[in-house]
Structure 1
Amino acid sequence: MFRWVVFFVICLFSALPAAALPLGTPQGAVLLTVSGDVPETNSPEGAAFDLHMLEALGTTSFTTTTIWTEGPQRFTGVSLHDLVAALGVSEGKLRAVAINDYSAEIPVEDAVPDGPIIAWARNGSLMSVRDKGPLWVVYPYDLNPDYRSEIIFARSIWQLNRIVVEP
């Protein structure tokens, strides 16, 4: 009988979707705040991330050319896919907002594996505000011709410091 109970409990929990890990609390300077319709939060404002927390979500790098830089550039950051998964966001829009309040709307559907990242480093160095940092939404423009459009370029916001998740 005990084996059947254990078997039933294992089956029950294996059928449930994986729960997001707790986000923790920023220990360093907050680089990104995600607010709005966010299931997983760690502050009254929503979800706050320092660099270490963003790195802990998983680090992705790719090399691509951009219309704002010369020659191929190596970008390192967290994939938008991994960020929205950690926040429990599966639909809606992401209103990406820069330090100067410039904003761009990014559909959650853009958050695909091997898609855009929120980069914190370019060519191995952390990006400063003067160098389009501390965060920059970067698509792998050379990977897919669909990423070389005015719509995608407008979504490639630099000096990113907050995202508002909208239905």
Structure 2
Amino acid sequence: MMAGVASACSLEQPKGEVVLTVDGMINACNNGLEVQLDRAMIAALPRKAIKTENPWDHGPVTYEGVLLRDLLALAKADGKTVTFTALNDYRADIPLADLEKYDVILADTRDGVELPVRDKGPFFVVFPFTDVPELATEARYAQSVWQVNRVTVK
């Protein structure tokens, strides 16, 4: 059993400050049973831009980040629900199936500028509200967690 764990823990180690941790029902790791990522590791993943309107910005803005389904594929997620936790411990659950169906990103920039912690950074869950208007609901707004630092697969 330990050989399987050791071989699964073969993801690259972060070289910079860890800014995001993925844990829970995952089959990849680089630190114990977690995947710890620095900004460079996240920036190396495929990027997606979403131009959208939301209740927190004035007019349409362009967010860019990694598709959550790509991040979860890196961690080899194997669950049904994903919990996003913010620096202030706010949490919201999103069904994994929704992250497969929609182009939801974990944004780290808004209009080309890195998101600072005081303004939704380091990461913000962004739905394509403008492109998929049926997503623009109070329930989805509540799932739009900002200041994300942990992603847990259940």
Same fold (TM over 0.5): yes
Q: Give yes or no for contact 2:79–2:153 (8 Å, CA) kept in 1.
A: no
2:15 maps to what in 1?
27
Q: Give yes or no for contact 2:81–2:95 (8 Å, CA) kept in 1.
A: yes
The structural deviation recorded for 1:163 is 1.1
1:149 maps to what in 2?
137
Structure 1 distance, partners of 2:26, 2:15, is: 21
2:94 is aligned with 1:116: no
The structural deviation recorded for 1:113 is 6.2
The structural deviation recorded for 1:131 is 1.0
Cα-to-partner distance string for 1:132-155 (whole Å, 9 max, x where unaligned) = 101000011101122101111111
Q: Which amino acid aligns with 2:65?
A: G
Radius of gyration: which is bigger?
Answer: 1
Alignment gaps of 5+ in structure 2: 1-7
| CA RMSD, 1 decimal | 1.5
The structural deviation recorded for 1:23 is 2.9
Q: Which amino acid aligns with 1:121?
A: T
Q: Which amino acid aligns with 1:46?
A: E
How many residues end up aligned between the 2 structures?
146
1:129 maps to what in 2?
117
Cα-to-partner distance string for 1:23-70 (whole Å, 9 max, x where unaligned) = 311111111101111111111150011111112121111211111110
Task: Spell out structure 1 runs of 4+ moving beyond 6 A.
Answer: none
TM-score normalised by length of structure 1: 0.82
2:4 maps to what in 1?
none
TM-score normalised by length of structure 2: 0.89
Alignment gaps of 5+ in structure 1: 1-19
Cα-to-partner distance string for 1:102-149 (whole Å, 9 max, x where unaligned) = 000011012236511000001101010111101000011101122101
Structure 2 distance, partners of 1:125, 1:107, is: 29
